[in-house]
A and B are shown apart, each in its own frame.
Chain A
Amino acid sequence: MFVKQLSVFLENKEGRLDEVLKILASANVNLLSACIADTSDYGVLRLIAEEPEKGKAALKEAGFTSRIDEVIAVVVPNAVGSFAKVVSTLHEANINISYIYGISLNENGAPIVVKTSDNAKAASILEAAGVKTLAL
C-alpha cells in the first residue's frame, strides 16, 4: 500500500545529480523512478528505489542530506478519467495532495506516486474506491 521514497537535498550546482546517482549505483541500489522538484538555488530529488535505507546510508556517508518518507503509489488504469477519479476521491475526503509524479507506463496502467496530507486515510479511501495501489 505504501512505498518508501528516498529524497535528497541537492544544490543547484553542476554535477550534483550525477554524483548522487553514482553513489547509489556503487551502493548497488536499483532505482525505479526519479523526479526533481527544483527552485532557483536548490532541488529535492525524489527517488523510488529498491532498498532505500541502503541508499540513504551511502548518501549520508558521502555527506548528502536525505530522508525516507512513505508515499502512495496508485495504479491508474490506461483509460480516460481514471486519474481524475483518484484525485476527486482524495479531494472529497479533504485530503491535500502535496505532490505527484509518475513512475512508468506498462500495459496495466501508469503507477503514479502521490504524497498527501494524510497518507493512511488516503490509502484506505482509495482502496475502498477500487483504486489499486502498489507495495514495493
Chain B
Amino acid sequence: MIWNEAKECMSREEIRALQSARLVKTVNEVYHNVPYYRAKMQTAGIEPSDIKGIEDLHKLPYTTYEDLNKAYPFGLSAVPKSELVRVHASSGTTGKPKIGVYTRRDIETWSECVARCLTMAGLTKEDTIQVGYGYGLFTGGLGAHYGAEYMGALVLPMSTGNTKKLIDMMIDCEVTAIACTPSYLLHVAEDLEKAGLVDKIKLKAAVCGAEPWTDEMRDQMQNRLGIKAFDIYGLTEICGPGVACDCEYHRGLHIWEDHFLPEVIDPVTLEQLPEGSEGELVITNLNQEGMPLIRYRTKDLTRLEYDKCDCGRTMARIQRFKGRTDDMLIIKGVNVFPSQVEAALLTVEGTTPHYMIVVDRVNNSDTFEVQVEVTENVFTDEVASLEKLKKEIHDKIKAAVGLNAKIKLVEPNGLEHFDGKSKHVTDKRNLYK
C-alpha cells in the first residue's frame, strides 16, 4: 500500500524538477525572512538568484548545530512567532537544546510524512495503534500520534513507563500496531513472554525509531511477536520521526524527497559526494514554513541509493547508518553527548575530568553507567559521604541529560587515557555494523 502514490512514485525527473522549484522558493524565503541566513549567504557571497535548481545546492553554506545554538530559540524561524503552533526539542551538545518549530501547515506536512511511513508498514485506518514514545518536547510521541490520527487509525497515546498497562490495553483493545523505540519493544516482548500472553495479542506491525537498531533486533521482534518491524528515521531539527522509513523489502529507508532534499558529503573536506558514496547525510528542508534548514549536517554517516525499489517507490533510500561524525550517543532513545556529562561533573566539586561513560544493552534495555575516579579531593573515610557524592553526581547528570545513570566510583588511573586525551565512552552495544 502507498499513501501518496503521486508523490512517492514520481519519476526521478519529476522529483528533481519539484525539488529544484522548492529549493529556489525556500532559499528566497530564508534570504528574505531569516536575517541569520541572509548574513550567512552574504558572507558566502551567494544571492538567491545564484540558486536555479538542485544542481546549485553545493553553493549554499551548511547549517550546523552551532548555528541552531547561536540562533536559539527562534532565530532561524522564517515566519512571525504568531504563525508558530508548536516547539519540540532534543538535547544539544552543550547547553541549549536543538529545537524544531512548526506552523499549522508544518504539523500537517509532518503528519502526512508519518502517515506515508505507517502505510509503508502495511497499516490503514482500520488499525489500532499504541504510541509508546514519550509525549512531550520529544518528537516521538506527538509525531507518531498526529501521523496515525492523520491516517485515520485509532490511537492509544500510551507514552512510556507503564508496560503492564500497555500490555493489558494491547490485549483488551485488540491493538494491531505499535510505535516505540526498538529496545522498548523487545522489553515489551519479554514481559509478554513471561506472562504467557504472546498468543493473546493481535499485533501485526511495529514502527520503531529514535535509536539505531540492528537486523538481529528486527529478527528477534519479528520471531518472538509474529509481527513485521519497520525502521523510522527523523530529527527534531528537520521535523521529527517520519523523514524516512523502510518498506517491506528493507532495502534502506525511503526519504520523502519532496519535503527533504538529501545529499551526502565528505565530513572532512565538506565536498558534496557523487551519488552512491558513503559520507555524512545532509538534509535541506524543501517545504517547511517554521524553520526551513538549508543543508543541515545530520552527523549521521550513510549512503543513498536511488534506484526504483521493488515496492514501487522512487524516493531515495538511506542505507544502514555506519555511525556518527560526532560523539553523540543515543541511550534509551535519548540523545546524550559526553560533553553534557562532563559539564555536569564539573559542577560537582572535586571530581576530576577523568570519567568514563559505559553504555551497554542488557536484556534489550540500554544501560548507562558513569564511572568517576575517586581522588584525594573527594575521598573520605566515611561511606555515607561517598554515597552522598554518588547521589550528587547522579542528580546533576539526570538534570543535564534527563536519564538516570548508574554512578560507579573507581580508583584513579583505573580509566583508560589515550595520548593525553581521555577516552570517555565505551559503547558495548555494537549498533553500527
Contact = CB atoms under 8 A, between A and B. Distances in A.
A42 B409 contact: yes
A46 B381 contact: yes
A67 B381 contact: yes
Interface residues of A, number: 21
Given A9-B374, A65-B375, A67-B376, A99 B382 contact: yes
A101 to B, nearest CB: 11
A65 B408 contact: no
Contact of B383 (A5, A37, A64, A66): A37
Interface stretch (B49-57, B75-83, B297-305, B411-419): B411-419
B199 interface: no
Instruction: Give the one of B376, B381, B384, B408 with max A CB within 10 A.
Output: B381
Contacts of B375: 65
A44 B376 contact: no
A41 B411 CA distance: 11
A39 B387 contact: yes
Nearest to B377: A65
A99 B380 CA distance: 13
Instruction: Give the one of A7, A9, A16, A64 with max B CB within 10 A.
Output: A9
A65 B383 contact: no
Contacts of B410: 11, 42
Contacts of B380: 7, 67
Contact of A69 (B381, B387, B413): B381
Nearest to A43: B383
A66 B380 CA distance: 8
A41 B408 contact: yes
A114 B41 CA distance: 72
Interface residues of B, number: 18
Given A5-B381, A65-B375, A67-B380, A44 B386 contact: yes
Contacts of B382: 44, 98-99, 115
Interface in B368-399: 374-376, 379-384, 386-387
B239 to A, nearest CB: 43
A9 B411 contact: yes
A17 interface: no
Nearest to A62: B413
A81 interface: no
B381 A44 contact: yes
Given A64-B411, A65-B374, A65-B411, A9 B383 contact: no
A63 B381 contact: no
Instruction: Give the one of A10, A41, A99 with max B CB within 10 A.
Output: A41
A63 B376 contact: no
Contact of B411 (A11, A46, A99, A115): A11
Contacts of B384: 98
Interface string A1-14: 00001010111000
A65 B387 CA distance: 17
B383 A39 contact: yes
Contacts of A41: 408-409
B411 A10 contact: yes
Contacts of A44: 381-383, 386
A65 B412 contact: yes
Contacts of A65: 374-376, 379, 411-412
A98 B408 CA distance: 23
A7 B376 contact: no
20 contacts: A7-B381, A9-B379, A10-B411, A37-B383, A39-B387, A41-B409, A42-B374, A44-B382, A63-B411, A63-B412, A64-B411, A64-B412, A65-B374, A66-B376, A66-B379, A67-B376, A67-B381, A98-B384, A115-B381, A115-B382
Interface of A: 5, 7, 9-11, 16, 37, 39, 41-42, 44, 46, 63-67, 69, 98-99, 115
Query: Closest 3 A-B residue pairs measured CB to CB?
Result: A7-B381, A63-B413, A9-B374
